[in-house]
Amino acid sequence: MAASNSELLKRWTVENGVSKYGVAAIDEDLKSYFNLSPAEEQNYPYAISLSVRLSRAVFDSLTDHPTELYKWHYRQANARLDQLAFSLTIFIQNQGYRALPIPASQIIDWQNQTAHLSHRHVAVAAGLGWIGRNNLLVTAEYGSQVRLVTVLTDWQLQTNQVQPFGCGTCYDCLSACPVAAIGKSAAKWDYEKCYVLLDYFVRKLQIGVHICGLCVKACPGLNNKKM
């Protein structure tokens, strides 16, 4: 059953232009990254992580701050992911199972800057990549230049293996950060420094969204660093 369902999911991702996907078993460790109500959580055993690759050309156009073009691209990626999650939910329901789509970018606690769950930690559990020094998901193929969305489900699926940390000797994101918020490990990432910079971009540059993109620009993936 799980194998045939997984083949259906694979076919769906190809037909719908998903860049990379994976499935994680939801355990207590993964639940620690959830902020769902008991009615929302409902003991779903699986989390499907979907990703779309962002435009390398958009990142190449960034200099020392986010731009209106990058903001548009960021928002379009989130909208695309929400559409994918919605479509996959309908697909799973048509198989006779339940599915809960989680918004790609929706803050539910502004003070603590938390969403319904951490898409990047779901993606790690689903084998898409690892948490890099920039505290973002890093994939071997696309680096941090992806956006993510999650669908929780009781559809029986095969799960993926967690990948080991793969940044190796690359420290490009450290020098890319204007406020030195990135350290040699994700544990050294300075949330306060990062957020102050994002808030500056929102207020002074009137970007209107807490985005930057500079450390993401520096992380195109191991296979794309020389492209």
Residue 173 has pLDDT above 90, yes or no: yes
Burial class (CB in 10 A: 0-12, 13-18, 19+), 128: buried
- Band (207; pLDDT cuts 50, 70, 90): confident
Which residue in this structure is represented by tokens 């406020």? 179
Q: What is the mean pLDDT of residues 4-15?
A: 98
pTM recorded for the entire structure: 0.94
**Number of CB atoms found within 10 A of residue 79's CB:** 12
Mean pLDDT value across residues 172-176: 97
- Whose CA is closest to 5, among 128, 92, 125? 92
pLDDT at residue 10, as a whole number: 98
Q: What ranges do the domains of the chain cover?
A: 2-217
Q: What is the pLDDT of residue 108?
A: 73
Q: Which two tokens stand for residue 132?
A: 């890099």
Q: Could you read off the pLDDT of 69-118 as tens digits, one per residue? A: 999 999 999 999 999 999 999 999 999 999 999 999 987 776 666 789 99
Under the banding of pLDDT at 50, 70 and 90, the label for residue 227 is very low
pLDDT tens per residue across span 181-200: 999 999 999 999 999 999 99
Residue 101: the pLDDT is 97
